[in-house]
Amino acid sequence: VYWTVDRLAGRRGAVLAAAVIGLFSFQPAWFVNWGRFTQVASQMVLLPALMLSWQALRAWREEWPARRAEIILLSLAGGLVTAGVFLLHFRLAALFLPLLILVALWELWRGLRTRRLGITLAGVGAVAAAAILMVTPALLPALQQYIQMKTTAQVIAAEAAGGGDYY
C-alpha cells in the first residue's frame, strides 16, 4: 500500500496510508495467517502489478526513446507481475482486468493530449503481449480441458435437458 500511494499521492499520503493499514486494520494479520490461499496471494500482488504496469505505460508515453532499455525491462516486469495475478486466482483476474483497462485508457487519453498516442499504444501492446505470452502456457491446456469436458455427450445431453453442472 505504501508504494502504491507513494507513487500516486506522494510520501506524506503514503506514510498516512501505511499508518492506517498498520494500526487500524486487522487485515495484515489475516494476510499472514491465510497466506497459503491463492486469492490472498493474488490480492497481495494486485497493487504492485497495477503500479508496475502503470509506470511502464507512463514511461512509454513520457520517456521513449530516451530510456529504451529501462522501459522495455519495466514493461516485461509489469507483464510478469500481471501474469502472476491472472495465474494465481481467476476471481482477482476478473477484478484486475477492469483496473488495467482503466489505466490503459487513461494513459492513452493522456497520450492523445500530448500527441504521443502511437507510442503509448505501443506500450499498451508491449505490456499486454508480455502478460499474454506468460499466461498462454497455462491458459491453453486449461481451455482445452474445459472444452473437452463440456463437449462430452453426457454433459451436452444433461445441459440440454436443463440439468447438469453449472461449471
List the pLDDT tens digit at each of the 167 positions of the chain. Answer: 777 788 778 888 888 888 887 777 766 556 555 556 777 778 888 888 999 999 999 999 898 888 999 999 999 999 999 999 999 888 888 889 999 999 999 999 999 999 999 999 999 999 999 999 999 999 899 889 888 887 888 777 777 777 666 55
Alpha helices per DSSP H over the chain = 2-9, 11-19, 27-33, 38-63, 68-88, 90-113, 117-150, 153-160
pTM above 0.75, yes or no: no
